[in-house]
């Protein structure tokens, strides 16, 4: 069984870093990449991935906003990927399975 993923980051380098890590594992299939929260919500609802890698600091919608706006049935497993540790508590309140800090 493959694990379908969506990568959401407003920076090309951030998306590439996550994609490169995913590509190491043949069972992970990246379905889409988004550079803003609004697109992420649409893509997640349409493609129904198993996991979403969400950057926290994006504008106008943050990764936190994306997670909040998804219904329970639309919400995949969420991994926040960010350079900011101050959002970790909120991320885990939203049932994130992991919170990865960028270098």
Spatial distance between the Cα atoms of 57 and 45, rounded to a whole number of angstroms: 21
- pLDDT on residue 102: 87
Spatial distance between the Cα atoms of 37 and 57, rounded to a whole number of angstroms: 10
Nearest 5 degrees, angle CA 100-CA 50-CA 13?
40
- pLDDT on residue 79: 97
pLDDT tens sequence across 14-71: 999 999 999 999 999 999 999 999 999 999 999 999 999 999 999 999 999 999 999 9
- pLDDT on residue 29: 97
- pLDDT on residue 19: 97
- The model's pTM: 0.94
């Amino acid at each position: 069984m493959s694990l379908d993923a969506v990568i959401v980051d407003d920076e090309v380098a951030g998306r590439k870093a996550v994609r490169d890590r995913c590509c190491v594992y043949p069972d992970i299939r990246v379905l889409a990449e988004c550079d803003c929260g609004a697109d992420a919500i649409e893509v997640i609802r349409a493609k129904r991935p198993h996991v979403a890698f969400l950057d926290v600091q994006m504008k106008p919608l943050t990764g936190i906003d994306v997670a909040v706006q998804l219904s329970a049935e639309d919400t995949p497993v969420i991994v926040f990927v960010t350079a900011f540790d101050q959002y970790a508590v909120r991320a885990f309140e939203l049932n994130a399975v992991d919170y990865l800090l960028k270098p």
